[in-house]
Amino acid sequence: MSSQPTVAAGNGSVVLPLPPPEKVATSGQVPPAQQREEMRLLSFLRAPAVGWRERFDCGGREVARWFPGHMAKGLKDMKKRLHQVDCLLEVHDARIPLSGRNPMLQDALGVRPHLLVLNKMDLADLTHKSRILECLEQQGVKHILFTDCLKDENIEKIVPLVTELVHSSQRYQRSENIETSMMVIGVPNVGKSSVINSIRRLHLKKGKASSVGAEPGITRAVLTRIQVCDRPLMFLLDTPGVLSPRIESVEIGLKLALCGTIRDHLVGEDVIADYLLYTLNRQQQFSYVERYKMTSPCDDVETLLKSIAVHLGKTRRVKVLTGTGDMTVTAPNYNAAAVDF
């Protein structure tokens, strides 16, 4: 990690540099109130991580299981279409490069050349990129590419890499075909459809061919072939996201949920918010204090969600039973606060 003080954006995805303290204190262009706020954040960042939880208490929760029928059917259909494919394009979230990839996909489809695309690199901390690549290579992943579909960063490298992989490998019964065909695979909501649309936009100057959404489960069936390039002629098959029937650990499940790979309600919005709070505090990322106008960081999710609900005006009417009859009171909406956090 860089020794320069940093503050993450409210969702913990973007890290912004803070000015050194002497510049905050002496700059005549910064309003006094902003100076005080920046100094307060700097004091949080420089304070030792005392009192923060050393580990996340999973509270006896069982490992998340989420393997609905369309996933099982999707994996079966993918195996059937494998004879039409020259290469596998696996898309995964760059924020969790070492967690949550589905080993079943490689076990079932691993006879073809394979390119791992770590998407959403704009949201990831790539400080330890070389270490990430080393760990993946130790797992047998030889071809890895980081991408950002918002800016089409590194998207132009996909077609040449796939072409090289296909030409240097055995094409089995497809050797007579002049076009290249690849299958896009991965867990839900890691940007598979966004990658497809970016390749088409770059090479064919055409719009969306696959639906894109912020929640997992948008693509629910193996689709017909989609052309993504004409020189060289290249097609692909989009597929539904397929999770492993059993996620290795609760913490990996929480990481997947934070990245939107598992639907929030299956884990619990408050649990996801608590794990995010735990992670931000451990990394001394305290920008939530400023975002929600809190007086200081905290390590208790109930206190945090109450502060957020009050700040955003998120309330709900609750019926309370009393000795003199029913009574309706206004209470903080913790669920709405957790979703905003």
Reduce the DSSP state of residue 267 to 3 states and report it: helix
CATH number at residue 127: 3.40.50.300
Same domain for 114 and 15? no
pLDDT of residue 40: 57
Q: DSSP character for 153?
A: B
Q: Is residue 79 part of a domain?
A: yes
pLDDT of residue 170: 76
Q: Is residue 13 part of a domain?
A: yes
Cross-strand pairs, 181: 235
Q: Is residue 119 part of a domain?
A: yes
**Of 173, 204, 237, which residue sits at a domain end?**
237
**331 — phi, psi (to 5°)?**
-130, 155
Dihedral sign computed on CA atoms, order 322, 327, 331, 333 = positive
Domain count of the fold of the chain: 2
Q: What is the pLDDT of residues 80-137, one digit of tens each?
A: 888 888 999 999 999 999 888 887 777 766 678 999 999 999 999 899 999 999 999 9
pLDDT of residue 244: 73
Same domain for 160 and 140? yes
Same domain for 136 and 116? yes
Same domain for 159 and 217? yes
Same domain for 79 and 50? no
Q: Is residue 252 part of a domain?
A: no
Q: Is residue 245 part of a domain?
A: no
264, containing H or E segment: helix 264-267
Same domain for 94 and 176? yes
Reduce the DSSP state of residue 317 to 3 states and report it: strand
Q: Is the pTM of this model over 0.75?
A: no
Q: Is residue 114 part of a domain?
A: yes
Number of residues assigned to the chain: 341
Cα 132 from Cα 69, distance rounded (Å): 33
Q: Is residue 255 part of a domain?
A: no
Cα 221 from Cα 74, distance rounded (Å): 6
Question: What is the residue-level pLDDT of the chain in tens, covering all 341 positions?
Answer: 444 444 344 444 444 344 444 443 444 455 666 665 556 555 555 555 457 888 888 776 665 555 555 566 777 888 888 888 899 999 999 999 988 888 777 776 667 899 999 999 999 989 999 999 999 999 889 999 999 998 989 999 999 999 999 988 876 666 677 889 999 998 888 989 899 999 999 999 886 665 444 454 444 445 668 899 998 999 998 888 887 766 777 888 888 888 888 878 778 888 899 999 999 998 888 999 999 999 999 999 999 999 999 999 998 888 877 777 778 888 889 899 998 98
Cα 181 from Cα 307, distance rounded (Å): 52
Same domain for 284 and 336? yes
Same domain for 79 and 151? yes
Nearest in space to 5 (alpha carbons), one of 45, 53, 49: 45
- Owning domain of residue 184: 69-237
Same domain for 150 and 269? no
Same domain for 110 and 17? no
Cross-strand pairs, 320: 327
Q: Is residue 64 part of a domain?
A: no
pLDDT of residue 168: 87
Nearest in space to 222 (alpha carbons), one of 187, 266, 185: 185
Cα 83 from Cα 182, distance rounded (Å): 11
Same domain for 213 and 86? yes
Same domain for 217 and 96? yes
